[in-house]
A and B are shown apart, each in its own frame.
Chain A
């Protein structure tokens, strides 16, 4: 009965412009919605710097994916990024890096 749940490993690049970053996160959500991906692991290894607005976008994208019934984990988060993300959301869950 239960079908195999597909997992996606996604490497987030260092954002350089808000609109592009927003588009990237939107297309990621769209891609997940249109496929049978149930679980996403987003790696932040390449992200060295995240301003508050960008962090908010990321938090919202993750929350949207969770509302869409997907399991989302963030991995390889730099300490400075963890601080910014923590500022954006009290209830934001960060997985082990």
Chain B
């Protein structure tokens, strides 16, 4: 019941927001009702000859390597894309700048992003088609009318292409964020190495964003594995600024509240000096020279000892 209620509330809000976005875009690109009327009129001139324009488009595209890449030996795909292009131009000249049109353009962007269509060939293709269409109506309209057609047509074409590119850019950002998230997950390998002992070896550069991530993951792992000792080895950390050094000490402090003692090893002279210069109280934090020392101390804390097998 609750889920249904939430859906009822959420859906109109999303659509409302989208329509506002569309209106703002139309205003930003200065598309007027006059432009829309002109583009529709232009459609009446262009659409009957759209096949001719598409023939010349594919002839132009066959000179580019992308043609072979996407259509080589695949006539079915070529025909499918061609049909979609007819629908695209039909929709552009119909100029009904509503949510459906907006979603269609975003879908085009999604398809382009998924097939990794380079932006240069997309824009070059739009530019070629615009020229081809403009040349065609130049011969059919008066010079004043051609000028007005040009302005209206290009406004809508730019708006249209922007939505496509904007969606491509959104998807690229999403992919980048997902990769960054995966990298963060891989770069915080909190591992239980023995009952009650967690190991966190850190490598590379630590910035404040990563330090926060380390804090969250470490605390979650302590809770999950009921750890009483955390071995934090930072000998592989190349760069650490003062804020991050402070953040690491905070991790040690926070783990203490969870009943887990942190032992930090591998502190370089530079990091140690930074902590001293900052006047940070490290008295409560257990630092060890090496990971081996930390591990030994952890075993002692847990009243454990490793003895070699009797021969």
Give me the interface of A with B, judged by CB distance under 8 Å. Answer: 1-3, 26, 29-30, 33, 36, 38, 60, 63-70
Contact = CB atoms under 8 A, between A and B. Distances in A.
A70 B275 CA distance: 15
Interface of B: 264-265, 267-269, 272-273, 275-277, 282, 287-290, 292-293, 296, 305-307
A70 B288 CA distance: 7
B287 A69 contact: yes
Contacts of A64: 269, 272-273, 275-276
Nearest to A3: B292
A14 B276 CA distance: 24
Contacts of A38: 289, 293
A65 B272 contact: yes
A17 B290 CA distance: 33
Contact of A67 (B276, B290, B296, B306): B276
Max chain B Cβ within 10 angstroms of own Cβ: one of A60, A63, A67: A67
B277 A69 contact: no
Main secondary structure, interface of B, reads mixed
- Most A CB contacts (10 A, CB to CB) among B264, B276, B277, B292 go to B276
B277 A60 contact: yes
A68 B269 contact: yes
Instruction: Tell me which of B272, B282, B290, B305 has the highest count of chain A C-beta atoms within 10 A of its own C-beta.
Output: B272
Given A33-B269, A60-B276, A67 B287 contact: yes
Contact of B282 (A1, A60, A67): A67
Contacts of B267: 67-69
Q: Is the interface of A mostly helix, strand, loop or mixed?
A: helix
22 contacts: A1-B306, A1-B307, A33-B269, A60-B277, A63-B272, A63-B276, A64-B269, A64-B273, A64-B276, A67-B267, A67-B272, A67-B282, A67-B287, A68-B268, A68-B272, A69-B264, A69-B267, A69-B287, A69-B288, A69-B289, A69-B290, A70-B289
B297 to A, nearest CB: 10
Nearest to A30: B269
Contacts of B275: 64, 67
Nearest to A33: B269
Contacts of B307: 1
Contacts of A65: 272
A2 B296 contact: yes
Contact of A60 (B273, B290, B296): B273
Given A60-B277, A63-B276, A69 B269 contact: no
Nearest to A35: B289
Contacts of B288: 69
A33 B265 CA distance: 11
Nearest to A71: B289
Output the residue of B269, B296, B306 with the most chain A CB within 10 A.
B269
Nearest to B273: A64
A1 to B, nearest CB: 5
Contacts of B277: 60
A68 B276 contact: no
A1 B273 contact: no
Nearest to B267: A68
Given A60-B277, A63-B276, 14 more contacts: A2-B296, A29-B273, A36-B290, A38-B289, A64-B272, A64-B275, A67-B272, A67-B275, A67-B282, A68-B268, A68-B272, A69-B288, A69-B290, A69-B293
Contacts of A33: 268-269
B296 to A, nearest CB: 6
A26 B293 contact: no
Contacts of B305: 1
